[in-house]
Amino acid sequence: MLSRREGDVLVITVNRPDKLNALNAATLDALDAAFAEAAGDDGVRAVILTGAGPKAFVAGADIAEMNTLSPVQGRDFSLRGQRMMRRVEKMPKPVIAMINGFALGGGLELAMCCHLRIAADTAKVGQPEINLGLIPGFGGTQRLLRLAGRAATLELCMVGAPIDATRAAALGIVNRVVAAAELEAETLKLATQLAGAAPLALRGVIDCVNVGGECGIEEGLEYETAQFGLMFSTDDMREGTTAFLERRKPAFKGS
C-alpha cells in the first residue's frame, strides 16, 4: 500500500501492479488500516483511492488465494472484505475512487463503497464472479443494486461481462468519465474542492445518505432533520452563513 499527501488530500494506492492490484487478505488488512488512520488524522480532509500501474484500479480478489479456501475460510474472507469496505463507506471524510483501468469483481466492489467514482474513458468495470462459479462476496450485489437498480445488477452479475466507463456512468455506477490523461488532475481537483468544504456538513451528508439508503423514508427524513439541526451548533455553519452574507469565501475549520 502506498500513501502520499497532496495538501489536505490523502492519496491511497493499492500497490500490486504485477497482480493487477488483486485483493488478497493482506491487502484488505492494509487498506483497513490505512482508512482507519485517515479517519483519525485531522490533517486529512478528503481521500483518493486508486491502483498502481496503467492497467488496473483493482482487477478483483486474488483468485490464487481464493482457490485454496474452505467454505468456512471463504465466508471469513467475505466478511473481511465487507468489514473493510463498510469502513470506507462510513468514512467521515469524502472518499473518491479514481478508476484508472479494470475495476472487476472485488475491484468494482471497492470502488462502489467509495462516496464518489471518477473513471478514465478507457476503464472497464464488472462483476465477473459467475465465470468462476462464484457470486460477489464483498457487497457487490447490494451496492450495485442501490446504484444501478435491479435489472442492471442482475445482468452484470449473471452475465459476468465487463462494461465500459460510458455505460457505467449511464447506469449510475460511476459519477464522471474523463480522458485517461486527465484522470489524476480531475480527481485531485474534485478532492481539493471537497477538502475545502465544511467537514462536519460533509460528514452529515455521508451519514444521512448511508442511513437513508438502509431504512424507510420516514426514518430517513427524521435522521436528516436531526443532522440539520445539529449543524446549527457548529462554528462552520456560522462561518458559512456569515461569509455568504458578507460575499466572501468561507474558511471552514471542522468545528
Tell me the per-residue pLDDT of 195-235, one tens digit each, with 9 for 90 and over.
999 999 999 999 999 999 999 999 999 999 999 999 999 99
Residue 89 falls in the annotated catalytic set: no
Identify which of 109, 27, 13, 102 has the alpha carbon closest to the alpha carbon of residue 62: 27
pLDDT of residue 166: 98
Q: Which residues contact 194 (CB under 8 A, 6 or more apart)?
A: 45, 46, 94, 96, 202
Please list the residue range(s) of the chain that carry CATH number 1.10.12.10. Answer: 199-245
DSSP 213: T
Residue 226's alpha-carbon distances to 90, 213, 223, 231, in angstroms, are 18, 17, 5, 9
pLDDT of residue 12: 98
Please list the residue range(s) of the chain that carry CATH number 3.90.226.10. Answer: 2-195
How far is the C-alpha of 191 from the C-alpha of 201, rounded, in Å?
Answer: 16
CATH classification number, 2-195, choose in 3.90.226.10, 1.20.140.10, 2.40.50.140, 3.30.565.40? 3.90.226.10
In the structure grid, which three cell numbers stand for residue 139, read together? Answer: 457487497
Contact between residue 16 and residue 56 where contact means Cβ atoms under 8 Å apart: no
Q: Which residues contact 89 (CB under 8 A, 6 or more apart)?
A: 113, 114, 115, 210
Residue 66's alpha-carbon distances to 18, 59, 141, 154, 184, in angstroms, are 18, 14, 19, 23, 32
Amino acid at 152: A
Write down the H helix ranges in 60-123. 63-66, 71-89, 106-113
> What is the fold, at CATH topology level, of the domain defined by 199-245?
Lyase 2-enoyl-coa Hydratase; Chain  A, domain 2 (1.10.12)
Q: C-alpha dihedral over 37, 220, 174, 202, to 10 degrees?
A: -40
Q: Which of 129, 218, 219, 246 is catalytic?
A: 129
Q: Which residues of the chain have pLDDT under 70?
A: none
In the structure grid, which three cell numbers stand for residue 166, read together? Answer: 460510458
How far is the C-alpha of 146 from the C-alpha of 148, rounded, in Å?
Answer: 6
pLDDT of residue 8: 97
Residue 105 burial (CB count, 10 A): 28
Q: Which of 109, 186, 239, 246 is catalytic?
A: 109
Residue 246 falls in the annotated catalytic set: no
How far is the C-alpha of 66 from the C-alpha of 244, rounded, in Å?
Answer: 54
In the structure grid, which three cell numbers stand for residue 9, read together? Answer: 488530500
3-state secondary structure of 229: helix
